[in-house]
Amino acid sequence: MVSGDRDQLLDALSPGIVSIAKPDDVKGEHKSIPDLLDQIPGVYVRSQSGSAHYTTASIRGSAPSQVNIYVDGVPMNLSNEMAADISTLPVSGIERVEVYRGTTPARFSGAPVGGAINIITKKPTEFIGSISIGKRSFNSEQYATNMHFPFLTGHMMVAVDRDTTDGNFEYTDKTIKTMNSTVFADGSTPASQAGMSTQLPAKRKRQANRVDKENLLIKWEDKRFIFKFAATDLDRMMPGSVPEHIRYIDHTQDLPQYTPDPQNHERRQVMRKREAIAGWRESFGAIDTAINLTWLKNKQSYRDALLMTLPLSFQNMMGGAWNDYTTTRKGVSGDLVWRLNEAGSFKHQVEFHTEYYDEKLEADLSGRIIDSDFLSQFHRKKRNVQLQDMITIAPLGGLQITPLIRAEKLTGPTIGSRRNPALKGGSGDYNWETTGSLNAKKAFENGWQLFGGTGTYIRYPNFYEIYGNGWGIVPNSDSTGKAVALVPEKGRTVEAGFGWQGRFSEDFRGNFRITGFERKTENNISLLSTPIAAKYINVGDAIFRGIEIEGNIAWTTRADIQFAVTKQEAHYTGGSSGYFYFGGNSVVQRFPGQTIHVLAVPDVTANVRLNMRFFNNTLSAFIEGNHIGRIYYNQDQWEKPLTRMNVGGSWLAAKVGPNKGLRVSFGVNDVFNEGPKQEMGRDGGYMFTHPNSNFYPQQYSYSPNVLYPYQGRTVYATLNWSY
């Protein structure tokens, strides 16, 4: 594990761009791993509704499935998930979060198109610990404890945390609010035209937001060995969406009295995840070696309480009422670092990484055809070999050049069913693929730094994309019923930038970094929705461009400002493969002469935070602002920008050592309650008319809610005892 302060880590961790966030910097603020990632440029975190719900991360406009997520270097992504759910990650026991944009170092498996996120757990070295108890709005509680202590020849760490919330926040259905105030020319109202004797209430309380999450982490290590066991238990409800259309009768979401409404079903997900790692490392002079064995088992179940009581014909296709997925993964990886000619003009640090993962998925779901191997059991094997050489050229002032080459192979199942031979086809077996990158970095004595790089990438489709989830997502097939195989996404990226670190004066110091990037993706995999179901397809080729700015300005130890801004755009450029919406034409053929946006990519993300410290850090306060720009939901529809402000502080009420003792933290997130107010935008605006528009053509405008409103103003307080 690389250790040191932030500036040392930035240079040591990667030949490319890496950013770091530390949970201890925001201890007591009820921040999660997704909240920390929100502070890093190029990262967009998307949460479905309230706190601790299904949350994914994208980097530089990528799809969440294009981002590899690791915990201590071990992959977290599972093949039966659209993308890794980062809401399940604990905060207690985490030392730092590393985000790699563009180039991914050789010690991480594969070549993700979007980038990589690595969660580093704390390294036990001495007897220390902490206990914290917190409460926040919406009947939410947070408990955490961790302890480090000597054990045998090394040190042990035990970390436990629990986060629970009802999460049912208030919001206004803005479509209903407008329609309730509308009276048509014939004296009727939208409610009466829908056959309702009374109007639906516009004020709502979000339902089915309950989450109960527990995490356990046990880690022991000494100079040669490491053993880790992690467990996550998650029990959460799954809220429905808020309609953006004008069918009055369909806006009964979050009104429990309308139980037939699918949006009000009691949908529940339970997850039990267990993971174990055993590792050995040894040094032989200038050579460091390591071997890790990993095991993971994830059991995940979904239940719709109402649909399970109805006949099969009402259960909305396979998996509509219930489904169970069990994933088991075993793996082995090896690393070798060889430092050559450390005192010479050309210094080399050669890194070799190889790994093998065997993953099995067993699936069972309502409505599945009996005696069929379709959506029942799948098996895939992944092999990977990577070699990197970080070359430091002393005669050129320490210029660092890093070539990297990867080779990977995936062996998977074949799509098909014994009961339906027409569906056979679409192999999941892929031959060895080679990708690589080349990066350069140069630091100057006056604090300036130049850097740049380029690389190629590949991402294989996962089980979720190939076979669906059994509930609304189905495999891709053509008009004859033959399965259509997804091909891997491939991409090329280039980035360049500069930065500076130093002092403005005796009391002021700072740093900043500006990076421009461009990524081209072939055979981009995206979700195709139809009135019947949805499936993943190879849409076509896309291009992503943007600029990132991040930095920090500090005044002694009393105050500092951290900032991170990303401006980006992404659109399709064509390509011979894939369809868009209802098929038949490629992306650019269906919309000739138009800019075809890649969906779910914010045009701007920004985070600014001012930290202030008083009385030798006994008292501290912060002000934080977070902005998310326009996000296209459809080619002519988008989520309007959202800006939220957080404030808070902490007080060291009883001190027993450096930064140890009883600390009280308090604050308010989303001070102005902007989350529940966010709206959708549309070219030409949203309009509705009388059902008989031939006789009553007058148009009325409205502004609908986003599909999944954000939780709003949240007050919190935490007691933390560190010893």
Give the pLDDT confidence of 137-188 residue by residue, as tens digits. 999 999 999 999 999 999 999 999 999 999 899 999 999 999 999 999 999 9
In a domain, 682, yes or no: yes
In this prediction, residue 681 carries a pLDDT of 96
Q: Say what the pTM is.
A: 0.89
In this prediction, residue 577 carries a pLDDT of 46
* The total number of structural domains that make up the chain: 1
In this prediction, residue 374 carries a pLDDT of 54
- The lowest-confidence range among 585-594, 597-606, 652-661 is 585-594
CA distance 302 to 315: 13
In this prediction, residue 659 carries a pLDDT of 72
Amino acid at 227: F
Alpha helix ranges (H) inside 17-56: 33-37
In this prediction, residue 8 carries a pLDDT of 46
475, pLDDT greater than 80: no
In this structure, what CATH number is given to the domain that contains residue 76?
Answer: 2.40.170.20
The region, left, alpha or beta by phi > 0 then psi within -120 to 50, assigned to residue 113 is alpha
pLDDT-derived band at 526, boundaries 50, 70, 90 = confident
558, pLDDT greater than 90: yes
The DSSP 8-state label assigned to residue 180 in this structure reads H
Amino acid at 703: S
In a domain, 695, yes or no: yes
CA distance 384 to 333: 9
In this prediction, residue 685 carries a pLDDT of 93
242, pLDDT greater than 80: yes
CA distance 64 to 82: 8
CA distance 26 to 510: 20
User: Closest Cα partner for 116 from 129, 106, 130?
Assistant: 106
Average pLDDT on 557-575 reads 90
In a domain, 1, yes or no: no
CA distance 212 to 607: 28
In this prediction, residue 4 carries a pLDDT of 37
CA distance 548 to 102: 12
Q: What percent of the chain has pLDDT over 90?
A: 52
In a domain, 201, yes or no: yes
| Joined tokens for residue 436 | 């690589």
Average pLDDT on 255-272 reads 83
Q: Average per-residue pLDDT in the chain? A: 85
In a domain, 686, yes or no: yes
User: Closest Cα partner for 341 from 378, 286, 380, 414?
Assistant: 286
424, pLDDT greater than 80: no
| Joined tokens for residue 96 | 């730092």
512, pLDDT greater than 70: yes
User: Closest Cα partner for 154 from 219, 60, 199?
Assistant: 219
In this prediction, residue 587 carries a pLDDT of 56
In this prediction, residue 583 carries a pLDDT of 46
Torsion of CA 667, 670, 673, 675, to 10 degrees: -150
* Adjacent-strand bridge partners of 154: 151
CA distance 38 to 25: 14
* Residues spanned by the domain of 540: 6-722
Burial 514-536 (b: 16+ CB within 10 A, else e): bbebebbbbbbbbebeeeebebb
Burial 179-205 (b: 16+ CB within 10 A, else e): bbeeebeeeebbbebbeeeebbebebe
Q: What percent of the chain has pLDDT over 70?
A: 86
pLDDT-derived band at 470, boundaries 50, 70, 90 = low
In this prediction, residue 471 carries a pLDDT of 56
341, pLDDT greater than 70: yes
- The string of DSSP codes covering 400-440 is EEEEEEEEEEEE-PBP-BTTBGGG---B--EEEEEEEEEEE
- The string of DSSP codes covering 562-590 is EEEEEEEEEEEEE-SS---TTSSS-HHHH
The DSSP 8-state label assigned to residue 308 in this structure reads G
Average pLDDT on 183-208 reads 94
582, pLDDT greater than 80: no
In this prediction, residue 110 carries a pLDDT of 74
The larger pLDDT score, comparing residue 705 to residue 586, is at 705
* Adjacent-strand bridge partners of 621: 612, 649
Q: Which residue in the block uniquely carries the two structure tokens 């990197």? A: 388
Asked if 136 and 715 count as a contact pair (C-beta separation under 8 A), the reply is: yes
532, pLDDT greater than 60: no
307, pLDDT greater than 90: no
| Joined tokens for residue 147 | 């302890």
In this prediction, residue 1 carries a pLDDT of 31
* Adjacent-strand bridge partners of 399: 393
410, pLDDT greater than 90: no
pLDDT-derived band at 291, boundaries 50, 70, 90 = very high
CA distance 280 to 290: 6
3-state SS assignment for residue 36: helix
| Joined tokens for residue 400 | 């660092």
In this prediction, residue 227 carries a pLDDT of 96
In this prediction, residue 63 carries a pLDDT of 76
The larger pLDDT score, comparing residue 517 to residue 25, is at 517
Q: How far is CA 139 from CA 160, 164, 210, 714, in A?
A: 21, 8, 10, 10
- The lowest-confidence range among 448-452, 530-534, 655-659 is 530-534
**In the Cβ-directed half-sphere of 185, how many Cα atoms lie within 13 Å?**
12
pLDDT-derived band at 440, boundaries 50, 70, 90 = very high
